[in-house]
A and B are shown apart, each in its own frame.
Chain A
Amino acid sequence: MYYPFWDTSLSYGMLMAVISILHVFISHFAIGGGLYLVITETFARKRNDQAMLDYLQRLSKFFLLVTLVLGALSGVAIWFIIGLLNPSATEVLIHHFVWAWAIEWTFFVIEIAAAIVYYYGWQRMSARDHLAIGWVYFGAAWLSLFVINGIITFMLTPGAWTATGNIWDGFFNPTFWPSLFYRTGICVLLAGLYAMVVAARSKDVSLKARTARRNAAFGLIGLAIVVPTFFWYWQAIPGDLIANAQETMPATMRTIWESYLYIVLLVLVLILYGLVMPKRLNMVVAVVLMAAGLGYFGSFEFFRESVRKPYVITDYMYGNTLEVAKTAEYREGGYLAGIEFRTGDDGADLFRHVCRHCHTLDGYKPLLPAFEGVDREFIASMVRGSEAMKGNMPPFMGSSGEALMIGEYLHGRTDNRHLSEIYDVEGVQLGQKVYEVRCGRCHEIGGYNDKSESLIGLDDEDYLDLLDMAGEFADEMPDFTGDDEERAALIEFLKTIGKEQGGAL
């Protein structure tokens, strides 16, 4: 809340994802590719395999253009985007890890310089010197990962740091080592897969077969590292985070299950086209492999980013930059007093700082459709009870008045017509819409916090009582503020749920 808020129509998640996904793919490939180049060059030189050396030189040219330009600049772009989207979290990280980042920079300097000299050295250097530079490149790139890994894992599992504040506790946190080995495996895997793409273009069948075998071995070794270290990583994540993800983030968990399919696909295709019939490797197969590899790694990154919700730094700072340590301050004084950059529209300012980090009005995770046809008091109640909603949202710690301002802001932008008019429905269909808008955000039928079993055996009077007393069940439950038509329709719909659950109705 110390910074202005960039209110772009694009979602923050999307902006972050586009840049960070590009960078993590390239940066991991840059490390594994360095290892691939020096190991393969060593073998090629021992066997005086000129065709292989030519292939490596071609590979290193593309490697230079991808890693040096796009890798370095997407890394800079990450700096830019985190400063724009979450300057407060960036500030926390810089204050604690400035020298870790400075150390990473020293490796980055060596890495970039070595990459340039390695590429231009193909025709100008002795084999020994060239290989030495290749190893320096790989070493510096991997050490760069070593440092960044400490900061990334800190955000998920700060471990003892929350109690001690000691940088080493934060850096060597519970997921540091498993993540480091896992990412190293990813580097090796991606290098092998990328080399497959280059090999697939080769017109020399013999060279293609030799390189495909080597590349497949790289890919399989990468997978052999990745699979067990992922489970190690999983074990190192605190149980409450995993349990929360399992309960509240079906998409995240589904992604992890789906990622196992990528592994199976990768293993099968690598064995088939790398070891069994490498001469038949073609561009389609290579691209499928690359896509599967990136899909797998993307799944992991999505999981890592999601599992720490509602935090951006677990147990320290929420995704909307509110600080856990200032809970009492927020509860006592509200949010507005702490918002440094104001626009004159308090509702808008509150909405931006409280909700807008994760939600848009009508784009990604939109809030306008979520509040169609409801009144501002209901929206305010939902804001106040946001912690209970989905189970992975930050708590609302501001005042009731501030929640009402957010309600007013959203209500002024939503379609305020009656739900029956918006969707042209009535009866049970209208009831279903009412349920979706007023109940389903917290009670997903067949999903999170499903209460449909509690409806079994209720009669009309019970349903009326249920709606009349809705706001009294829990602090975060809103009153039912719909009109009589909506009330009746909702009851009709609830009765159908009761029936599906085997109720007596």
Chain B
Amino acid sequence: MNLPDYNFLSTPLWLITILQILTLTLHLTAMNFLVGGIIVVLWGRLTDRWQTPAVQSLARMLPTATAATITLGVAPLLFVQLVYPRHVYSASIVSAWFWLMIPVAVAVAYYLFYGASFAKNALKRPTLFYTIAGICLLYVSFVYSSVFSMAEHPADVKELYASSQSGLVINSNLSDYVFRWLHILLAAPVVGGFAAGLIGRDDPTAFSVGKKLLLWGMIGTSVFGLFYLLTLGDILAPFMRSPGIWILVPGILLAFAGLHFYFKRRFVPSGLALLASVLAMVTSRHYLRLIHLYYDPRALTIAMPSWTVTPQWSVFVLFLILIVIAILALIWLLRMVFSNRGASQGE
């Protein structure tokens, strides 16, 4: 019986890759906002500035930011199996229990945000709530770094699996991903600082705190990013020859441009520059991953696996139409929120 094959792509790989990179950029931005938001809120608690409007606003936004982070994370999780076939799933199985605990940890953080948000000032220990939520998200980011880093080394995945099949194995090659993890993590105060400054732009203290977070976060993420590059070893040279470096450099410049514009209180260009910087980082990271997985040292090229493309254009076009509708719906919903401010129930 000739059954349909599944070893095909329903659109060209570059199209799926673009969508994967775009959605992952949005997911990481939302995630950085979330973790950065916790930092600002905790700062508000610890410095007795809890009632500062910027801190209060950020605290109220955390549940929605969590929803956004989760929602935006679903799409890249879908595409990852096509862009890096089998590698991420295989690595996740080796660390299965840690991987499976990710939704649990996010659920705990999510409920803590809502708990703190609904209780408002009545809550006796919001610091504890936000601290536990922060720890949960740190766990999530660490496991993601661990699994995705493991996925880049198929031989390591096999070796770790051979050592134990229990799903209780964590990527032991810490030097491979600890700097990368810290690099991503320190992008959170950058985005959190930006958000604090934007929301509290009329509050000199909020702006100043935002500035400090942005500056030190930027320094920290740059330092760890550099350390990470230095740990690449044999991969560094091919990366320097790949398009990844041509994307990384403007990404760094855009990050500093974001800092510059923030200092000038030009929030729109600053935000756009930071977003573009994240996009550049994600794209260069994609190239780095391809080099890890498919670099052929003899041919000095990335030897990508070949795919048969059996297009499903009708479904893809439907998706494009619906994504446009979804964006319009989001704009409409936001307009509803802002245009109805002050309107009372039952009008």
Say if A and B assemble together: yes
Query: With the chains together, A458 CA to B166 CA distance in Å?
Result: 51
Within 8 A of A (CB), among B20-66: 64
A73 and B326 in contact, given A95-B10, A106-B319, A125-B340 (Cβ under 8 angstroms): no
Counting chain A residues whose Cβ lies within 8 A of the other chain, the interface size class is 35 or more
B23 closest partner in A (C-beta): A105
Asked if A269 is at the interface of the complex by the 8 Å CB criterion, the answer is no
Asked if B90 is at the interface of the complex by the 8 Å CB criterion, the answer is yes
Indicate which residue in A70, A80, A168 contacts B99 across the interface (CB closer than 8 Å).
A80
Interface residues as binary, A83-101 with B (CB distance below 8 Å gives 1, 0 otherwise): 1100100111011101111
Query: Chain A contacts of B89 at CB under 8 A?
Result: 3, 83, 87, 90-91
Counting chain B residues whose Cβ lies within 8 A of the other chain, the interface size class is 35 or more
Asked if B138 is at the interface of the complex by the 8 Å CB criterion, the answer is no
The answer to whether A72 and B93 touch across the interface, beta carbons within 8 angstroms, is no
The answer to whether A7 and B166 touch across the interface, beta carbons within 8 angstroms, is yes
Indicate which residue in A2, A100, A102 contacts B86 across the interface (CB closer than 8 Å).
A2
Query: With the chains together, A103 CA to B319 CA distance in Å?
Result: 5
Interface residues as binary, A131-164 with B (CB distance below 8 Å gives 1, 0 otherwise): 0110010001000000000000000000001101
The answer to whether A77 and B93 touch across the interface, beta carbons within 8 angstroms, is no
Minimum C-beta distance from A415 to chain B (A):
24
Minimum C-beta distance from A165 to chain B (A):
3
Query: Chain B contacts of A125 at CB under 8 A?
Result: 336, 340, 343, 345
The answer to whether A80 and B315 touch across the interface, beta carbons within 8 angstroms, is no
Query: With the chains together, A68 CA to B9 CA distance in Å?
Result: 32
Query: Chain A contacts of B4 at CB under 8 A?
Result: 96, 161-162, 164-165, 316
Indicate which residue in A91, A106, A120 contacts B326 across the interface (CB closer than 8 Å).
A106
The answer to whether A68 and B67 touch across the interface, beta carbons within 8 angstroms, is yes
Query: With the chains together, A107 CA to B5 CA distance in Å?
Result: 29
A124 closest partner in B (C-beta): B340
A117 closest partner in B (C-beta): B333
- Interface segment among B69-77, B123-131, B257-265: the answer is B69-77
Query: Chain B contacts of A129 at CB under 8 A?
Result: 336, 340, 343
Interface residues as binary, A318-354 with B (CB distance below 8 Å gives 1, 0 otherwise): 0000011100000000000000011110000000100
Query: Chain A contacts of B303 at CB under 8 A?
Result: none
Query: Chain B contacts of A105 at CB under 8 A?
Result: 74-75, 78
Query: With the chains together, A95 CA to B315 CA distance in Å?
Result: 13
A326 closest partner in B (C-beta): B3
The answer to whether A352 and B343 touch across the interface, beta carbons within 8 angstroms, is no
Query: With the chains together, A90 CA to B78 CA distance in Å?
Result: 10
Minimum C-beta distance from B336 to chain A (A):
5
Interface residues as binary, B316-347 with A (CB distance below 8 Å gives 1, 0 otherwise): 10110011011001100100110011111111
Interface residues as binary, B126-159 with A (CB distance below 8 Å gives 1, 0 otherwise): 0000000000000000000000000000000110
Query: Chain B contacts of A90 at CB under 8 A?
Result: 81, 89
A68 closest partner in B (C-beta): B67
The answer to whether A5 and B93 touch across the interface, beta carbons within 8 angstroms, is yes
B75 closest partner in A (C-beta): A105
Indicate which residue in A81, A108, A161, A342 contacts B100 across the interface (CB closer than 8 Å).
A81
Interface residues as binary, A462-503 with B (CB distance below 8 Å gives 1, 0 otherwise): 000000000000000000000000000000000000000000
Q: A91-B6, A120-B337 are in contact. List 6 more A-B contacts (CB 8 A).
A: A74-B103, A77-B103, A83-B81, A96-B10, A105-B75, A110-B326
Q: What are some 16 contacts across the A-B interface (CB < 8 A)?
A: A77-B100, A83-B92, A95-B8, A95-B82, A98-B78, A103-B318, A106-B323, A113-B329, A114-B333, A117-B337, A124-B337, A125-B340, A140-B329, A323-B3, A341-B161, A342-B158
Instruction: List chain A positions with a Cβ less than 8 A from chain B.
Output: 2-8, 45, 48, 50, 53, 65, 68-70, 72-77, 79-81, 83-84, 87, 90-92, 94-96, 98-103, 105-110, 112-114, 116-117, 120-130, 132-133, 136, 140, 161-162, 164-165, 167-168, 315-316, 323-325, 341-344, 352
